[in-house]
Structure formats: C-alpha cells, structure tokens
Chains A and B, each alone.
Chain A
C-alpha cells in the first residue's frame, strides 16, 4: 500500500516535470536573453523575420572537419559558432528548417549525401538547399574571414578570425534557395540616365550586379522608342536623368505607379542637370519636392576624394541613427547602431500627403539639424549665414498609397499598393559609393533595402557581418597566468586545508 502510494506520487511528479518542461519550451513562452557583451549569440531581427516567414522547407547540411595547426582552434571556434547559429535558426524557423550533420569519416554516407546534393568536394562548408536549389557556403571566406597570422619568431602574430560572417552568409543562401518569383526592375534610358550596365565609378554597374544577385530581373526601357514598359515590370527606376523625359513618358510612368507600380526617383546631383531634367516639377505631382541646392555638413570627406571639398565642408557625411526615421529600409541600421554615408544630395521634402486613395509619405533620413545647411545655387560649398539656414534637411522620402478606385491591378493583390522612393541624388546608387570599403558595405545594404522595400520584400534586408569579439591574451603574459592558475589557486586551497587539519589536530574548530 505504502509502496504503491510512493510509486503513484513519483509518477505524478515525473508527469508534472515533463509537462512543465514541454510547456516551457513552447514558442511564445520562451524568454531568451543574450547576455554577451556584443550579443554574439543573437540573430538579427531581419534574419528572424526571414526564418519565421519561410515558404518552403530548408535543409542545411554541415560538412565540417578539423583543420591542421595553427588554424585548429580558430577554425574550431568558427565551426562551433556556426553550429550554435544553426541551432538558433532551427529554433526560430521550427518545422521549416532542418540541420543535417555529416561525419566526413563516414565515406559511404558522405558519398550518398553528396550524390543526392549533386556536389563534390564538400569539406568545411555548409550546404543550404530547398526544393532542388542548392547554395554552398564555404567556411573560409564565407562563414568567416581569417588572418593566417605570421609564424616567424621575430614578428609572430597568431592566426585570428577577422570577421564572423556566418549569419549573413547563411541568410543569403537561404534567401537564394527560397526566393520565389523574381521582381522585374526596369531602368529608364534615353534621357541621360546613368547606365545600369556600365563599369565606371559613375555608372550603376555595381548596383545592377548587386540587385541581380539578390534575385531581381534587370531590364531597361526607353519611353521615346517603346510606348509600353517591358511586360511584368514591377519597379521602375529613373536614376540621374539630365534631359526632360517629356510629358508623354511622364504620364505613362504616372499611370504605371497609380496602377500599383513602384518607382525609384534619384535626380542627378548637379543642379543644372536637375533643372534640365524637370524632375523637380514632376515629383510635385506626387506631393514631393526636390530643392536645387546641395545639402552640406562640416565633416571631412569619408571617401577621401577631396574633389568637392572646401576646407572641412563636405557633401559626403555620415547619417546618424537619430536622423533616421523608423522604417523597414533603415530599421536594420537603427537596430544594429550602424551608420551609412550620405552622398552629395539635394534636399527633398514631403509637401503633401498622397491625394489618391489612402496612404502616406514620410522622410527616410536627414542631415544633422545642428550643423547642415543647403548650399544654394550657384554652389560655393561655404555656409552663407544670411541665406542658408542651419537645419535638418531630408535626403530621402518614401511615399505609399493605394488607389481605392482601382478595381484590380496588373500586379495582383499583393502588389497593388503604389510605392515611391525619392532619393536626394543618384550618387547614392553609383558604383563609386557602393564599392566604398568603409562602413562595412552599408551603402550596398541601404541600396538593397531600398529596392527590396520597393519590391515588397521587406524581409529580404541586409545586415553587416558581426564583430567576432575576439579577446586574445598576449603570449608574453602566459607564464604569469600559468603561475596563478596552475599553482596559485590550488596551492591556496591546499594551504587552507592543511591549516584546518593542523588546527583540528590541536583541538581547534570542531565539527558542528
């Protein structure tokens, strides 16, 4: 009787423990806090959004093996960190995300797996695949960038991890294998616009490559030669025109936007070209305004060009977090406390909210209110206090509206909301700025985010590689550490133990 009571109570307690553990692990119940100084275990908000919204099953095959000295430890650390990252991704995506560990010593299993993936030579990499699409992310250069160090005795420098890029690399691979219909982006041509296929620093070549790699279909359209825009166009980009497009072309683009199309407008930075393109008059139809002058700040030129500087006055300056408006495009920058460089730009402004249907327009980011001014035409790159007031100037605005009078749209229900992005200048998109090494590629991230927002792919946003947060003890301090750790700490306790034994033998402290 007593035995069965104990058994029953034990079983009930076991059930309670199992139930509690089950319930505490349910999504929505779990509270998780990354306590590391640089949040090295946390996934970016944008990565989480992608994982939560996966439309197809994704499997990640891990092919890791140890490296020889002196890379053994740092490669091991990157591998361990990647495994933790994948486990975290699996935890967020739940049923849509699977991890398949491969033991490279099991030749038969590896052969079978690589045959299934139709790949060869898989070592120290992860393979992301979904519904037949496969992306390989290599450990070296993909998951992390390494510094192999200097083995010479005189200038010894241990190998180290320069940056851990696992999150962004795996995220990009996931986006690549799961991307659905590819949005079509059309650049207008024929009015002096910047060349999307050019390879010079003032062209859009880098942008075209960037967007194509991210799944956009890129095309061009010359309204003077073809009356209709290419079939399936989702986004139209008018970047840096120097000539007037003409009323007919403008009204066609207006119709495109009103019908749920997306529009990127980036005027030429040169005030004369802006005037001749008549873009400023055109965007007034959307309730937006472009000023002729150029926004300036007294900061050194981060690009080091020096070409447009007078003293310390600069037309290239960092955009601070405080000068960004919370919007899908710049949110990743705000969340990760990152800045990006503003190019020489006209001031832009929301004059009135959209009149058609329902919607709103808002500034995206601005210059610093306490230091910037709008240099009036003719530009002299100097602050004329009498006519140029020091205040904040918007450098990009977004507008979004849907025309409720429209019964249907060419673009389907998902895309029938018009979106316009007006940039202060086309310089934000040129190769020279996108390929700037400073700012951890933030200009590229900004460009991608802008076009992905226009394509209604807010979840396809970009993030920068994380700081590896490496803390290395200098080799010359190791002997001191040796003395403390190996002898000092155990030795102290040994002496304390002997002291207690001695005192007890002398009739000291007795057991309580």
Chain B
C-alpha cells in the first residue's frame, strides 16, 4: 500500500511545484465560480439549482471534465516516457500496478481538490444564512470525483500509449469526448435512419431498443445525473464508476508491461 501512496505523493508534489497545476486550478476555479454566480443570479437565488449547475448540471463542468484529466495525465506517463524517467520508475522496487494506481490517485485527488470549490460555495451560502442540503451536496461531490476518476483513468491509458504528451492529451480528449457524446450521437443517427432501417430489417425495433439500452448503460450523463447529482447513492452507479476506471487502469498496466517486454 505504501508504494502507490509514495508515487501519489511524488506526483502531487510535482503538480503543485510546477506552474501547470496552479494555473489549471486558478483558471478552473475562476470559471467555475463565475458559472455558479451567474446561475445563482439567474435562478433568483435558488441555491440547489446553482450548486447542481456548478457540479454536473452545467456545460462547464463537463468541459472541464474532458479537458483537465487529459492535460493532467499527459505528463504522468507520456512525458516521463519521453524524458526517460519512466524507466527509472519502472525499475524501482514497486510494481507497475502500484505506479499506475499512485499516478491515478494523484490526478484524481487533484480533481477532487478542484471540485472542493463547490462545497466551499456551499459553506459561503451557509454563512450567508442559506444552508444547502449538505448531505446531498457531498453525495454530488463524491459523484463528481468518481466521474473525474473515470476520465483520469482514460487519460492515463492514453498517456501510456505514446511518448508524445500532446498526442496523449489529444487522444485522451477524443476518447473522453467520444465516451460522453457517443450515446447522443448514435441516438441522433439512429433517429435519422430509423425509417430507412425499419424497411430493411424486420426486427429493427428490437435491435433499436437493444442498441439504445446498451448506449444508455454507457451514458455518463445519465449515470451521474440520476444518482449522485440529485443526492442519491445507488449501488449500481457506484459499480459503474468503480469498474470502468479499474478496467482502464488494468489496460494501462498491461500497456506498460508490453513496453517493458519491448525493451
């Protein structure tokens, strides 16, 4: 257990001793704060609406979600690989899995720190005499951290595939965007083609329903929006947000192993 934790500490120190981490934090906090403030004014002071907007209900949350993890992860493996420090790390007395888990924890904690701004907004509201629904807010915060962990794991996997940090960030950005948009894009495509396809295939409706169901099961918006965001803890959603990052971490470890074999 000490291995991943040591790696995590090393990565967090790296993030906070370089300008990149601070710049990302300040920009993200400012935009998130602006959005929260705008939504609160727009909603005539409705606290729940504004907090939900800042934590998953607004487009900015998702934009940060698909841009920040790739930017954070590009340096975790790809840059280390380019500068050659990854080889030192991989020959250190820690397993590959510990290295990956440590880096994953560091990036996820960074994202958790970023989203901590929303409970801070909640605290400000509390001090101003309008306490939010605290338990529901922390559940939504937990959900935001879990969504972040999913995109971090995707970013980490992309980072393990190449030695070029920018290419890694780009790959991760595309993968995260695709994951987010795929259900919507395919759904739209299917609705356009529904008439034509139903003429060709007799059981098209069954296939259509199956595809819709499969896409829905991958829909991060739905998984987050129907459970954590409104303040619900759901075991199936927890399984979703634990198993998929675990899967990408597994792929990342395998990807590192193949690199070792290639060496």
Contacts and interface: CB of A to CB of B under 8 A. Distances in A.
- Bind each other: yes
A471 to B, nearest CB: 4
Interface stretch (A28-36, A208-216, A336-344): A28-36
Contacts of A16: 243
B40 A481 contact: yes
A303 interface: no
Contact of B136 (A10, A36, A477, A485): A36
Interface stretch (B63-71, B86-94, B165-173, B231-239): B231-239
Contacts of B254: 6, 9-10
Interface in A462-512: 469-475, 477-478, 480-482, 484-486, 489-490, 493-494, 496-497, 500-501, 504, 509-512
B22 A493 contact: yes
B19 A501 contact: yes
Contacts of A25: 217, 236
Given A9-B254, A481-B40, A41 B246 contact: no
B12 to A, nearest CB: 9
A485 B124 contact: yes
Interface stretch (B23-31, B74-82, B176-184): B23-31
Contact of B44 (A17, A73, A477): A73
Contact of A32 (B41, B136, B235): B235
Contacts of B250: 10, 13
A29 B235 contact: yes
A417 B146 CA distance: 53
A494 B14 CA distance: 17
Interface string A318-354: 0000000000000000000000000000000000000
A486 B233 contact: no
Interface string A86-116: 0110000000000000000000000000000
B1 interface: no
Contacts of A471: 46-48, 130-133
Nearest to A492: B29
Interface centre among A73, A84, A159 (most CB of B within 10 A): A73
A20 interface: yes
Contacts of B13: 511-512
Contacts of B251: 10, 13
B129 A474 contact: yes
B243 A21 contact: yes
A509 to B, nearest CB: 6
Given A20-B243, A87-B226, A481-B40, A500 B33 contact: no
A36 B36 CA distance: 21
Interface string B3-27: 0000001100110111101110110
A158 interface: yes
Contacts of B26: 490, 493-494, 497
Contact of B128 (A20, A40, A160, A477): A477
Interface string A22-55: 1011000111111111101100000000000000
A190 B236 CA distance: 61
B25 A73 contact: no
Contact of B49 (A14, A77, A493): A77
Contact of A70 (B44, B136, B233): B44
Contact of A73 (B30, B42, B124, B240): B42
Nearest to B230: A41
A407 B41 CA distance: 71
Contacts of A511: 13-14, 17-18
Contact of B17 (A10, A485, A494, A509): A509
B43 to A, nearest CB: 4
Size band of the interface chain B makes with A: 35 or more
A333 B41 CA distance: 38
Contacts of A13: 247, 250-251
A469 B230 CA distance: 13
A74 B226 contact: no
Contacts of B231: 34-36, 40-41
Interface centre among B48, B117, B135, B217 (most CB of A within 10 A): B48
Nearest to A487: B33
Contacts of A504: 17
Interface centre among A33, A490, A496 (most CB of B within 10 A): A490
A385 interface: no
Contacts of A510: 17
B210 interface: no
Contact of B30 (A10, A72, A486): A486
A497 B19 contact: yes
Contacts of A474: 45, 128-130
Given A30-B234, A36-B136, A489-B120, A73 B43 contact: yes
Nearest to B247: A17
A157 B242 CA distance: 45
Contact of A41 (B125, B131, B232): B232
Given A30-B235, A31-B235, A496-B22, A486 B136 contact: no
A471 B44 CA distance: 11
10 contacts: A2-B258, A30-B234, A35-B233, A74-B46, A470-B46, A473-B128, A474-B129, A477-B129, A489-B29, A497-B19
Interface of B: 9-10, 13-14, 16-19, 21-23, 25-26, 29-30, 33-34, 36-37, 40-49, 117, 120-121, 124-125, 128-133, 135-136, 139, 217, 226, 230-236, 239-240, 243-244, 246-247, 250-251, 254, 257-258, 261
Ordered nearest first, which 3 A-B pairs have the shortest CB separation? A497-B22, A158-B44, A24-B239
